[in-house]
């Protein structure tokens, strides 16, 4: 049985490091092309209001699941991947090239995202689809089976 787990924000970063990647701590600095973290002192509502688009890798799990080449996500992280391990595959990137989604190249059932899909999940169809995928994965579906089922359920609901 292969591993089945997911990572969100810091979990994404820990998975990246566990697979041999290195991190960079500068994504919250002022003057960056893409802002990834809000200034200190904001309420949770204000912190999670910061959003940006992420491009989903062609034929990747996230693209198949979401049925779109890009999605809008919240952004509340000041660290990110500096050097990506060759043991990982990119699933999503921001416009400034920061890796926002990863999975192991080995085929283990692992997916990690840099954003916070748990924030106001009930109000966000993209987040609900991601958590539906996580649930199917934990029940034993393959990554591809889960992505196809979530995509089909989303098509039927619309």
Assess contact for 2 and 108: CB atoms under 8 A: yes
* Ranges under pLDDT 50 in the chain: 1
Helix (H, G, I), strand (E, B) or coil at 112: strand
pTM of the entire structure? 0.87
For 66-92, write each residue's pLDDT tens digit.
999 999 998 887 688 999 999 999 999
Can you list the domains of the chain with their CATH numbers? 4-157 (3.40.50.880)
- Is residue 124 within 8 Å of 82, Cβ to Cβ? no
């Amino acid at each position: 049985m292969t591993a089945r787990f997911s990572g969100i924000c810091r979990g994404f970063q820990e998975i990246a490091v566990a697979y041999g990647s290195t991190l960079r701590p500068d994504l919250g600095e002022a003057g960056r092309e893409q802002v990834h973290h809000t200034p200190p002192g904001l309420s949770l509502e204000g912190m999670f209001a910061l959003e940006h688009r992420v491009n989903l890798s062609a034929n990747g799990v996230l693209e198949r699941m979401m049925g779109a080449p890009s999605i809008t996500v919240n952004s509340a992280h000041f660290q990110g991947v500096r050097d990506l391990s060759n043991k990982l595959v990119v699933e999503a990137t921001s416009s400034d090239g920061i890796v926002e989604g990863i999975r192991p190249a080995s085929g283990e059932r692992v997916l990690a995202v840099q954003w916070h899909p748990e924030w106001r999940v009930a109000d966000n169809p993209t987040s609900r689809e991601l958590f539906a995928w996580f649930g199917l994965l934990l029940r034993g579906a393959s990554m591809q089976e889960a992505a196809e089922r979530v995509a089909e359920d989303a098509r039927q609901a619309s």
